[in-house]
């Protein structure tokens, strides 16, 4: 008979400790909830419950008689119930606050990623302009000087050297133009995503190493500069990966748009690869795909990659056309 009260005392003691601990945590979280009324009421409810457990424990260790404070004890129970009921009813404000905080965080993350993309594109344009406007005219001047030498009386051996120099300088000028255009394609800025992709594919097909087909229902439609950059850089990255690693003979790009989304589907007939660590950001995962994922995520888009050894690759990119994605 004595074991039962002892066990009850231990149980009540543990309950009191846990109750006061829960009350302390609840009070501490009040600041996190920006002193929301619902959480304040719930915190008071936990405190009162802890006091109730303490009152239940006192008769076992003191001369305290609970019947002396029966009315007070009943009032504590009623107030606790009231606090919890009102707190739970108002707790939706906390959930609304959490939802707004998450939305604000996502917006800030998107704004940061967009700012990074725009800064990168500005730097690309600056570097491309310096190449085109700085080094390009200098090489053209050298080419004119070398060409003028060919009209003078020079030995045959020197004439051959001048001719080779002229050819080399012409190739250098062409390389500068190609590099400048790849860094910041003016077609993308001036004419849109469809023509920019088509122009890039035309250069790839001229090499005759890879045949790329392009299908689209996007023609003159323009979108926000960030969205067009994300799609264009992603397509270029996919084609370059195919050329470098896939040993493919053919690739197909589909670019479709409706009122809600812009979608890119890319596939090739190459050797394929293991996609297990594709988005890890490591060397094994591939920095190109990792950067592509970050770009797509910045537009609240979705990137899916399916591949396997000797199965080629199939990539799907879907980007929603929110208000900031449409051309203005």
- Does 113 have pLDDT greater than 90? no
- Does 1 have pLDDT greater than 80? no
- If asked whether residues 152 and 190 sit together in one domain, one would say no
Query: What is the model's pLDDT at position 328?
Result: 40
Q: Is residue 57 part of a domain?
A: yes
Q: Is residue 197 part of a domain?
A: yes
- If asked whether residues 83 and 135 sit together in one domain, one would say no
Based on the number of CB atoms within 10 Å of its own CB, is 134 exposed (0-12), middle (13-18) or buried (19 or more)?
exposed
Q: Is residue 51 part of a domain?
A: yes
- If asked whether residues 175 and 193 sit together in one domain, one would say no
Q: Is residue 159 part of a domain?
A: yes
Find the mean pLDDT for residues 130-138.
64
- Report whether 224 contacts 186 (CB < 8 A): no
- If asked whether residues 173 and 208 sit together in one domain, one would say no
CATH of residue 271: 3.30.565.10
Task: Identify the residue with better confidence: 157 or 272.
Answer: 272
- If asked whether residues 209 and 327 sit together in one domain, one would say yes
- Does 131 have pLDDT greater than 50? yes
Rounded-to-10 torsion of CA 84, 89, 92, 97? -60
- If asked whether residues 194 and 169 sit together in one domain, one would say no
Q: Is residue 104 part of a domain?
A: no
- Report whether 248 contacts 270 (CB < 8 A): yes
Per-residue confidence band for 136, with pLDDT thresholds at 50, 70 and 90: low
Q: Among 165, 184, 203, which residue terminates a domain?
A: 184
- If asked whether residues 160 and 200 sit together in one domain, one would say no
Element (H, E) at 86: helix 70-90
- If asked whether residues 35 and 167 sit together in one domain, one would say no
- Report whether 206 contacts 228 (CB < 8 A): no
- If asked whether residues 211 and 312 sit together in one domain, one would say yes
- If asked whether residues 223 and 304 sit together in one domain, one would say yes
- Domain, as residue range, for 270: 185-328
- If asked whether residues 195 and 151 sit together in one domain, one would say no
Rounded-to-10 torsion of CA 175, 178, 184, 187? 150
Q: In this predicted structure, which of 161-165, 212-216, 255-259 has the lowest mean pLDDT?
A: 161-165
In angstroms, the CA 232 to CA 121 distance is 12
Q: Among 184, 206, 222, which residue terminates a domain?
A: 184
In angstroms, the CA 230 to CA 196 distance is 12
Q: Is residue 122 part of a domain?
A: yes
- Does 281 have pLDDT greater than 70? no
- Report whether 261 contacts 318 (CB < 8 A): yes
Q: Among 145, 166, 184, which residue terminates a domain?
A: 184
- If asked whether residues 190 and 328 sit together in one domain, one would say yes
Global pTM reads 0.57
pLDDT single digits (tens) 229-243: 889 889 988 998 898
What value does the mean pLDDT of the chain take?
Answer: 77
Q: Is residue 110 part of a domain?
A: no
Number of neighbouring beta carbons within 10 Å of residue 289: 22
Q: What sign has the CA pseudo-torsion 53, 55, 60, 66?
A: negative
Q: What is the domain count for the chain?
A: 3
Q: Is residue 328 part of a domain?
A: yes
Query: What is the model's pLDDT at position 187?
Result: 78
Per-residue confidence band for 327, with pLDDT thresholds at 50, 70 and 90: very low
């Amino acid at each position: 008979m004595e074991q039962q009260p002892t066990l009850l005392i231990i149980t009540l003691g543990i309950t009191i400790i846990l109750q006061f601990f829960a009350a302390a945590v609840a009070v501490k979280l009040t600041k996190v909830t920006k002193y929301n009324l619902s959480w304040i009421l719930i915190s008071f409810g936990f405190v009162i419950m802890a006091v109730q457990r303490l009152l239940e424990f006192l008769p076992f260790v003191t001369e305290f008689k609970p019947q002396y404070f029966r009315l007070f004890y009943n009032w504590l129970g009623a107030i606790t119930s009231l606090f919890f009921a009102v707190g739970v009813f108002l707790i939706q404000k906390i959930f609304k606050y959490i939802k707004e905080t998450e939305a604000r965080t996502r917006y800030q993350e998107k704004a940061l990623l967009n700012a990074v993309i725009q800064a990168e594109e500005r730097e690309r344009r600056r570097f491309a302009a310096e190449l085109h406007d700085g080094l390009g005219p200098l090489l053209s001047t050298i080419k004119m000087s070398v060409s003028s030498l060919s009209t003078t009386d020079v030995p045959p051996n020197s004439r051959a050297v001048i001719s080779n120099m002229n050819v080399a300088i012409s190739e250098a000028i062409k390389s500068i133009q190609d590099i400048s255009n790849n860094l910041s394609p003016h077609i993308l800025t001036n004419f849109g995503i469809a023509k920019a992709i088509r122009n890039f594919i035309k250069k790839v097909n001229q090499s005759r190493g890879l045949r790329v087909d392009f299908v689209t229902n996007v023609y003159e439609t323009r979108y926000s500069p960030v969205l067009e950059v994300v799609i264009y850089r992603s397509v270029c990255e996919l084609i370059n990966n195919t050329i470098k690693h896939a040993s493919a003979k053919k690739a197909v790009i589909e670019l479709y748009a409706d009122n809600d989304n812009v979608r890119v589907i890319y596939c090739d007939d190459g050797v394929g690869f293991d996609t297990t660590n594709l988005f890890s950001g490591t060397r094994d995962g591939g920095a190109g795909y990792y950067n592509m994922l970050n770009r797509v995520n910045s537009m609240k888009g979705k990137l899916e990659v399916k591949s396997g050894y000797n199965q080629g690759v199939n990539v799907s990119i879907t980007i929603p056309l929110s208000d900031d994605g449409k051309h203005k």
